[in-house]
Amino acid sequence: MTDVRSITEANFEQDVQKKAGVVVLRFWATWCGPCIRMKPLYYEIAKEMTKQASFGEVDIDQAPDLAVAFGIRSVPSFLVLKDGQPIDGVVGLAPKSRYVEMINKHLATA
């Protein structure tokens, strides 16, 4: 089963900041067409890599403080964190291979 958690200010500390290893976040909004198109791709990646990394998504309208904290100025944004610290990311839509390569790069150093 794909485990993509909805990340809010209330669960951010436990589910992202204090989580050891690699956490991948998708910042999105309900009004964002590219975000809606990215969702199935993101869920596919999460399903394939759920044993290696944790996956979550942040609705920037529901958690604006998290978007500000990470400097998210455009959605969709894809962020990789390691041991709670942001280490890589992509803004906008990209091919699946780019996201997978980015995650794998940081898993190799985990």
Whether 32 is a known active-site residue: answer yes
Please tell me which residue in 35, 72, 75, 81 is annotated as part of the active site.
35
Task: Please state, in angstroms and rounded to a whole number, the distance separating the CA atoms of residues 104 and 86.
Answer: 15
* Residue 23 contacts residue 16 (beta carbons within 8 Å): yes
Beta strands across the sheet bearing 4-6: 4-6, 54-59, 22-28, 77-82, 85-91
Whether 107 is a known active-site residue: answer no
Nearest-10 crossing angle of helices 96-107, 33-49: 40
Please tell me which residue in 29, 32, 90, 91 is annotated as part of the active site.
32
Residues catalogued as catalytic: 32, 35
